Amino acid sequence: MSDGQLQDVFKSFCAFGAGSKDAAPVMDNSKWGKMFRDLKLYDKKFTSTDTDIIFNRPEVKSKTDRKINFAQFKKALELCAEKKYGSKDDVQKLIEKICAGKGPGTSGATKASKAGGVDRLTDSSKYTGSHKERFDESGKGKGLDGRKDFDAKAAEGYVGGYKGKDTYDKK
């Protein structure tokens, strides 16, 4: 595996979630862990705790740094290979698995809603009560006519059950 392929994978995970693809190729701890999760490199012997510890080791980066560059990334991979396979010489196995994998994935992200759920909510034949009065027989909305009660008595200012219309002034 070439160094270029590994660097491409490194850059793709660095750019994941960043605003632009032109961002500096440095990786933080969350993207470091995401790479191992997405490429399914964890097992019972090698866990996310191990990658967190390796990322923060002084051989990889200083305490004040929050992100690693490509050279530090390669050093961290050597330490990961030692933990996962028992020897730093097996780093090539780990690099091959990383390069064989795809870039960052978005599993578990929110998907766009399907039309079926929206159709059910906008089907006016299933509406009850006063809501069904807002639509005509074809399902098209009536607009303002469907939302307001244009009763003659309501326009005159009287309540529905009032029987003494026009009797107040006659007294």
Q: Where are the domains of the chain?
A: 3-100, 115-156
Give the model confidence (pLDDT) of 59-74 as tens digits: 898 888 889 998 898 8
pLDDT at position 160: 62
DSSP secondary-structure letter at 141? B
Strands 67-68 and 27-28: antiparallel
- Tokens coding 134: 């807002």
CA–CA dist 171, 169 (Å, integer):
6
Give the model confidence (pLDDT) of 74-105 as tens digits: 899 899 888 888 887 888 888 888 888 766 76
**Domain spanning 3-100, CATH architecture:** Orthogonal Bundle (1.10)
Write down the residue that tokens 């006659």 correspond to. Answer: 170
CA–CA dist 85, 55 (Å, integer):
17
Query: 132 Cβ partners below 8 Å, 6+ apart?
Result: 124
The count of C-alpha atoms lying within 13 angstroms of the C-alpha of 89, restricted to the half-sphere facing its C-beta, is 0
**CB–CB of 43/58 below 8 Å?**
no
DSSP secondary-structure letter at 102? -
Q: pTM of this prediction? A: 0.57
- Bridge partners, residue 28, by sequence: 67
